Structure 1
Amino acid sequence: MKKILLSLSILFVFMSAKAQFSTGMGAKKASVLGRITATVLDSITKGPIDYATISLISTKTNKSVNGAVTDSKGKLSIQNVAPDTYKMLIGFLGYQTKTVMITTTPEKPDISLGNVYIFSTAKKLEDVQVTGTKALIENKVDRMVYNAEADGTNAGGDATDVMRKVPMLSVDASGDVQLRGAAVRVLINGKPSGTMAASVSDALKMIPAEQIKSVEVITSPSAKYDAEGSGGIINIITKKSNAQGVSGSVNASAGTRQNNGAFNLTAKTGRLSVNTSLGANVAYAQNSKTEFVTNTTYLNGTTDNITQSGYSKWGRSGYNGSFGVDYDFNAYNNISSNVKASRFSNGGPGASDYVRNNIPATTITFMDMTRNNLDWNVDYKKTTKKEGEEFTISGQLSTGRTPTVFSNISTSPQFPNGKFLGSENTAKNNEYTGQTDYTYPFSKTTILEVGAKGIFRNVKSQYGNLQGDFDYNQDVAAGYGVIAFDLTKKIKFKGGVRAEYTSIDFNTQTSGIEKNNYFNLFPSLIVSESLAKGGTIKFSYNRRVQRPSENFLNPFRNESNQFNVMQGNPQLNPELSHNLELGYSTFIKGSVINASLFYRSTGGVIESAISTLVENDTTKVLSSYINVGRAQTYGLNLFASYNPKPKWTLMGNFSANTYEVTNTISNLSTGTFLNYSIFGRSAYGFGKGYNFELFGVATSARRTFQGKTDPFYFYGASFKKDLFKKKGSIGINTLNPFTKDLHIKTVNNSTSAVSTIFQSTNIYYPLRSFGINFSYSFGKLKFTDKSKIKNDDSKQGDQQPGNNMGGMGN
């Protein structure tokens, strides 16, 4: 009944918006958007000017509405230009800004300017050093944008390499991303992905860096976004083009750790475009060493000592593919659909030797984890002659299958012939989403946004043993309203509220509880002021939620490490947080400085925890997830970019935040600790297409309620040469060339009414690698993905609880 009512509500919003459109559009047929083309040349040498910046400014509002950058031949193409009168500004370092007046009409939407000459500002040509580059970093009201396409050192890498260069983000050695020390939601072109939900680190490795146009770090999401993500949202924007004909690209890399390949193809004719992509990733199996020391002291005075030392030889393989269709009925109506499928497989053999209370034994382990995901979306968008008015309705289906199989054979004096232990589990995740959004501009500076959304999720965990299956349903109904306007000429305001009702129920066979329904309001506001010389200061507040996802909830018991069992917790409650931020940014002679202070209060913090498990007269350590308590977090972020020379870029990012959690049951506090991460980068272009880069990442110790993980660091370098008139490139790269393994040490302590547990884990993860990469593009790529679905409301976990990464666990 709830699903029917929600569907009727969304349909009512759709019909109401449609009625409003029909009264204001008139009978005149809409015109198709046009394009502006030109070739920018030096006035003296007649040579092309590459990477010149073009801005298209409306003469009515005197605001920029579009833009472009010239290619290696000086050519520019600005797409989706509405009929109007514009002034086009052409700028390049060392040249006078050129202004060209342009008028397009519905009858003649396309304009070709031919050759446009710009003049040097120097008296003599030989005194001018011709250089130019698109800004790497842009600051907007609610986000910071890293323009990956303007960074030549990204070629041959993947999305993980790009993320390491994005301000405010921290990326560990395995590719997991955090924003300001908190969980973050990763979107692709503003929408979620089943692959990303299953494993962010694996999904990022499957996206070639050449496909990424920019990365948006949204620290202050408005109420239009789903309220998920305590730290904020990361939105990866892929490159798009409206180029006619057939175009595409190929990327390939090979190395000592992994091989990658990707192929993209787009065909466009008139108003119809079709695109497809294929990608593959194969990581070599390498020995990863893990050591455990577990000491458990019980109230009766007895102790249990376990020492384990083992290895795992895991490999990873995966592929993904997509197919999309996009069609413009006219200038005001568009429909698009896209299907994406992916498959990842992780696993391999392992072995461990352990001593329990002076009794030795050996265990042979095999583990396999597979993730299969399918996403299908259909989107309709309608605009009107009123600039800025837009209505969209979207639907999305996401399905996932995650089979997990493990087996152990243990040999000991008690079982000289070996004891077998094995199990399997298949988690099925189905998600259905309907969404509608409407934007209405009352004026150029006052804009209203409203919308409604429904998400229906079902997770089934099916076991291959006598343990009962788990069936979990989560339905979310949401509606929002956002208003933006100017308080003064320099001060802007954007505020709103989002209402979400969550209904949860699941079978009582495993969990013992039937349902947990809750309603929340999520307000948000941003106030920003433009300062002199390009500076901006802003203040923001928002309330966010972090719902536990499938990996956190699944009660499947993973006993691949027989003494360290991992299991999800279906009784978890969501995290709720209040976020305050004060930020400042400025541009000084090409340098970028961004500084921010923030405060976050989070209730129901979800963390991994260990406890005692007694089963069949055998004592084990159980790793699961719990709601620890309330956290108070203070932090700062400082990012700077500086160019000592036109082709030399230095970048640095420093993030720090406090950690303090108070348990809601015992009222005990961890005390206050400082977590920080440092990223440094130096990139230099030698000319003639040669580029060199060095980078390094260092983190402090990371605290949790029960323990800490020691600090670690890693570093890398890359060298790239442009080929085929910048249509291709070849490069080499290395990661940790002088350090074979990344040593990660974690210590946990747990005290309960039954026992006291001390556990020390040492992981030696093989990180050193060398590789070569090649990329080539023909034509201009088009990645059509206009979906408005953004299911950014589930806390993600890359693996089952524990993250042991050794032969005795994950």
Structure 2
Amino acid sequence: MKMSKFLLTAIIVLATLLTPAFAQFPGGGGASQPKALPGTAGDQTPKGTSKISGSIVDSASTKGIEFVSVALYSKTSGQAVDGTVADEKGKFTLTKLPAGDYKVLVSFIGYANKTIDNISLGKGQELDLGVVTLASNTKTLNEVTVTGQAALIEEKVDRLVYNAEKDITAKGGDATDILRKVPLLTVDLDGNVSLRGSQNIRVLINNKPSTIIANSVADALKQIPADQIKSVEVITSPSAKYDAEGSGGIINIITKKNSLQGLNLNVDAGVGNRGSMLSLNGGYRKGKAGVTLGGFGRGIYNTITKTSLEQTSTVNNMTTKTIQTGDGSSHGLFGNYNLGFDYDLAKNQSLTAGVKYGVRNFSNQQDLMTRLMKTGSTDFTSTRNVDAKNNSGTVDVNIDYLHTFKPQQEWSISTLYSRNDLTNDFDADLLNGSRELTGRQRNLNKSVNQEYTLQTDYQTPIKKNQLLEFGGKAIFREVKSAYSFLIAEPTGDFRPETDQPAGDLTYHQNIAAGYSSYTYTTKKRYTLKGGLRYEHTFIDASTNEGTVGVGNYGVLVPSVNASKTFKGTTLKLGYNRRIQRPGLQQLNPNFNSANPQNITIGNPELRPELTNNFELGLSKNIKKTFVNATFFGRVTNNAISQVRQPSDTLAGAIVTTYQNIGKQHAYGTNLFANVAVTTKINVGIFANAFYTTLTGLSLGSDGKSEEIKNDGFNVSGGVFSQATFGNGWGAQAFGFMQGNQVQLQGMQGGFGFYTVGVKKEFNNKKGSVGLAAENFLSKRYNIHTSLNSAQFNQVNDVYLYNRGVRLTFTYKIGKMTMDAPKKRAKSVSNDDVKSDGQQSGGGGGGGQGGGGNAPR
């Protein structure tokens, strides 16, 4: 694909979507700061010789607050006359004002509004209002506080927020432990995340993508320390501003940041029977510049797994029965390191830059004993010892710029470079029934994935109750994956396996996108937000056998969200269309036979799937209880589905691949309620239930394709409780149950998870110690999966031993002072690419394996 063709299409997309928006503003919305507030007569700058000035400070720290909005209103007409934004010291000036009677409204997020009334301004007068103090206000606009004092869960206009920093059991864990507790989400014991039963979701970190996420969500979450997560946002109905990818929705993980002046260092440590961690995060800020430096390391161990597999398959009228047992264990080291820099170029301009490096060294050992029984043949017994490695190193580099012209009017440019080097190999020793070494196998899969992204966004208010947003984006993505399969005798060198030749995949995916979004709010608290986004995808892919892929394609993605608040009740209605591009693991043609009875192979010919989402939500405060109910529907065509069928060459083996053959319909509800029992104790309960229908193709008993269908209910739910006591003591408990999950060719078993924890703070909250335990009443959990078709039946049991306890410690070092919050430059959000090779519509696949190989 020629780069000129891509750039030409990108220009056409941006021109088509952005020109009508720019046409509304003289000069195309240039960099000059408009002085008049929208809504004034003709939006003309007032003519006069008078002036009003003043200084705005925090009532507690007595320090100036920058970016405070100052609006001047006429006492006679009540309309806005002029407005400005305070500088970095909190000072403001309104000039060229005509004589008259006015009032001034001072407002800023996080502070209570303040009105200065009865201002009489004479001709040529220079009026100094002096020092204006603003008091902190803990209430947040457009949200409902769910858990009273702790505010563990919040519902906002377009998302649900789980405030993880309030979770006292988080210390020593990772992001997986946090996401398990978020309403609407389901996380299985392997770390795979579902939203309303769909694993077609995008996971962002601080609104940014990363190549580490694109490879495997489950693995990536292990690298994010739980105690560094501030909140988790679940966006079920994304607006046009977000990338069209992620048919199920978007999960945005917000990590802790600060606006501290001075030098600070936070030390976090934890040790347990299944894992240990150490985290050091520091920062230095003085004046307009700030630097942050952090590092996190975590080790996992004592993770034991036992499996059993029984399956029958029929090929060419020959039936083979397989009975397999396995004993496995895994261990790993995960690291995450970051260096950040931000600088205030001016009172209304900021620049941020950062470098992040993530490392994963994960290994899995599994001893498989297999017995094959063929019709009319002697039984065959073998043992296979597999050592699988999944290692990666990820680098993310970003530079972002933000220019704020006035409240709600801003322009940003964001850039991102992301690269992931991945090694995903396995070695297997083959033993006979007498446990004598008879041969060796090796699968090598080295991959490099890199992305370049350029994004620009502009938003501006229209009058007082309307907001227009538009922008454009370009993503340049390249993936290279080389794979080979080797065999050897008990001794000697490895040689290529002729039946499974080496190969490589080169996959270029470039995307040009543009969007426009409009928000309208009425005085009666009706809110309507609509948008349109267009994305054009360019595919250029090949293997050593020639060109593959589906060619270029474009998609138009509309979104509409509406809400109405009345008498403490909020009603929300949403519709959006989403695209789901195949994940790179699903595309990778590497033949992964770590377990030769359960083989996986990707399909580079996969096309994207399209989903229409509908939702209706109702939330209400009833005294001390908050209740939310959301009803949703999801219709997916051309769905990417896992398809399993017997192998033509390996007796008794089941091969899993991916095809665009499915239709998936899901209809259900999410319910949760929270009761503030007292100001210090709250209890919550949540439940998710939906009915799903999956339709696809499979081979029939005669070897020809036939349509298959599966449907059923998927139910999950949980309860949590949190309490704070005197002298720095706190406690928390959480429990969750996941029912069976419907799959196209069967059913995956459910599981449960629970945890309790206590924490004690000391030294004026500078330090804390905690103790948390999980699944301490259960020796193990069994996930029972049953899959079937006309040609095979499979029953798989995975026993996970995850009883755990951990002791945590944290301490803050340094003398710091808090500044008013500052608006920093925005960053790139690549909400695209289906990750982890997961099947949508109901959990991961059954069967044992020694670690999947992927091009990421």
TM-score range, shorter chain: 0.7 to 0.9
Which amino acid counterpart does residue 649 of structure 1 have in structure 2?
N
Which amino acid counterpart does residue 179 of structure 1 have in structure 2?
L
The answer for the alignment partner of 2:423 in structure 1 is: 403
Pairing 1:22-33 to 2, within 5 Å after superposition = 22-24=31-33
Aligned 8 A contact 1:182 1:231 in 2: yes
Matched, 1:709 2:763: no
Which amino acid counterpart does residue 404 of structure 2 have in structure 1?
T
Matched, 1:163 2:196: no
* Structure 1 residues 128-168: Cα deviation after superposition (integer angstroms, max 9, x where no partner): xxx98253333222112223334555455443333233222
Aligned 8 A contact 1:79 1:242 in 2: no
* Structure 1 residues 451-480: Cα deviation after superposition (integer angstroms, max 9, x where no partner): 111111111111245422111111111110
Distance 1:57 1:394, change over 3 A: closer
The answer for the alignment partner of 1:281 in structure 2 is: 298
Matches of 1:207 and 1:552 in 2, distance apart? 24
Aligned 8 A contact 2:719 2:734 in 1: yes
Q: Comparing 346-355 with 201-210, which one deviates more in the overlay?
A: 201-210
The answer for the alignment partner of 1:567 in structure 2 is: 601
1:11: Cα distance to partner?
A: 9.7
The answer for the alignment partner of 1:5 in structure 2 is: 8
Segments of structure 2 that go 5 or more residues without pairing to the other structure are: 36-44, 46-52, 63-67, 79-86, 94-103, 118-125, 138-146, 374-378, 486-500, 699-704
2:29 pairs with one of 15, 20, 30: 20
Aligned 8 A contact 1:508 1:514 in 2: no
1:540 pairs with one of 571, 574, 597: 574
Q: Comparing 501-510 with 270-279, which one deviates more in the overlay?
A: 501-510
The answer for the alignment partner of 2:386 in structure 1 is: 365
Distance 1:327 1:706, change over 3 A: same
Which amino acid counterpart does residue 555 of structure 2 have in structure 1?
N
Matched, 1:656 2:689: yes
Distance 1:246 1:798, change over 3 A: farther
1:520: Cα distance to partner?
A: 0.8
The answer for the alignment partner of 2:498 in structure 1 is: none
The answer for the alignment partner of 1:66 in structure 2 is: none
Aligned 8 A contact 2:550 2:605 in 1: no
SS of the residue corresponding to residue 356 of structure 1 reads strand
Matched, 1:697 2:736: yes
The answer for the alignment partner of 2:461 in structure 1 is: 441
The answer for the alignment partner of 1:146 in structure 2 is: 162
Matches of 2:69 and 2:824 in 1, distance apart? 26
Matches of 1:394 and 1:179 in 2, distance apart? 28
Which amino acid counterpart does residue 696 of structure 1 have in structure 2?
G
1:791 pairs with one of 807, 810, 830: 830
Segments of structure 1 that go 5 or more residues without pairing to the other structure are: 41-55, 63-77, 92-96, 117-130
The answer for the alignment partner of 2:192 in structure 1 is: 176
1:202 pairs with one of 199, 219, 237: 219
Q: Comparing 541-550 with 193-202, which one deviates more in the overlay?
A: 193-202
Pairing 1:248-647 to 2, within 5 Å after superposition = 248-298=265-315, 300-357=316-373, 358-384=379-405, 386-412=406-432, 417-465=437-485, 466-487=501-522, 489-510=524-545, 513-532=548-567, 534-615=568-649, 620-647=653-680
Distance 1:81 1:214, change over 3 A: farther
Distance 1:157 1:474, change over 3 A: same
Matches of 1:242 and 1:680 in 2, distance apart? 34
Pairing 1:691-770 to 2, within 5 Å after superposition = 691-751=730-790, 756-770=791-805
Query: In percent, how many aligned pairs have the same letter?
Result: 35
Aligned 8 A contact 1:35 1:79 in 2: no
Distance 1:81 1:355, change over 3 A: farther
Aligned 8 A contact 1:351 1:807 in 2: no
* Structure 1 residues 716-774: Cα deviation after superposition (integer angstroms, max 9, x where no partner): 111111122112211111111021222111111133xxxx1111111111211111111
Matches of 2:174 and 2:116 in 1, distance apart? 40
Matches of 2:811 and 2:190 in 1, distance apart? 28
SS of the residue corresponding to residue 197 of structure 1 reads helix
Query: Could you tell me the TM-score, scaled by structure 1's length?
Result: 0.85
SS of the residue corresponding to residue 645 of structure 1 reads coil
Aligned 8 A contact 1:191 1:787 in 2: no
Determine which structure has more spread, i.e. the larger CA radius of gyration.
2
Which amino acid counterpart does residue 662 of structure 1 have in structure 2?
T
Which amino acid counterpart does residue 382 of structure 1 have in structure 2?
H
Which amino acid counterpart does residue 455 of structure 1 have in structure 2?
I
SS of the residue corresponding to residue 305 of structure 2 reads strand
Distance 1:209 1:425, change over 3 A: closer
Which amino acid counterpart does residue 143 of structure 1 have in structure 2?
R
Which amino acid counterpart does residue 370 of structure 2 have in structure 1?
Y
Aligned 8 A contact 1:156 1:731 in 2: no
Matches of 1:301 and 1:267 in 2, distance apart? 72
Pairing 1:89-238 to 2, within 5 Å after superposition = 133-183=149-199, 184-238=201-255
* Structure 1 residues 421-469: Cα deviation after superposition (integer angstroms, max 9, x where no partner): 1120112111111111110111221111111111111111112454221
1:416: Cα distance to partner?
A: 5.6
Matches of 1:680 and 1:34 in 2, distance apart? 45
Aligned 8 A contact 1:310 1:808 in 2: no
Matches of 1:478 and 1:613 in 2, distance apart? 42
Distance 1:727 1:86, change over 3 A: farther
Aligned 8 A contact 1:370 1:404 in 2: yes
SS of the residue corresponding to residue 8 of structure 2 reads helix
SS of the residue corresponding to residue 217 of structure 1 reads strand
Distance 1:154 1:32, change over 3 A: farther
Aligned 8 A contact 1:472 1:507 in 2: yes
Matches of 2:542 and 2:696 in 1, distance apart? 29
SS of the residue corresponding to residue 631 of structure 1 reads strand
The answer for the alignment partner of 1:75 in structure 2 is: none
Which amino acid counterpart does residue 279 of structure 1 have in structure 2?
F
SS of the residue corresponding to residue 225 of structure 1 reads coil
Distance 1:759 1:424, change over 3 A: same
1:98: Cα distance to partner?
A: 9.6
1:678: Cα distance to partner?
A: 0.5
Matches of 2:164 and 2:257 in 1, distance apart? 13
The answer for the alignment partner of 1:51 in structure 2 is: none
Aligned 8 A contact 2:584 2:837 in 1: no
Matches of 2:363 and 2:180 in 1, distance apart? 26
1:486: Cα distance to partner?
A: 2.2
Distance 1:373 1:32, change over 3 A: farther
Aligned 8 A contact 1:244 1:268 in 2: yes
Matches of 2:595 and 2:136 in 1, distance apart? 69
1:565: Cα distance to partner?
A: 1.6
Which amino acid counterpart does residue 646 of structure 1 have in structure 2?
T
Aligned 8 A contact 2:171 2:270 in 1: no
Matches of 2:654 and 2:469 in 1, distance apart? 50
The answer for the alignment partner of 1:68 in structure 2 is: none
1:636: Cα distance to partner?
A: 0.3
Distance 1:553 1:36, change over 3 A: same
SS of the residue corresponding to residue 253 of structure 1 reads strand
Distance 1:197 1:622, change over 3 A: same
* Structure 1 residues 326-373: Cα deviation after superposition (integer angstroms, max 9, x where no partner): 111112221111111111121143212111122211112111111221
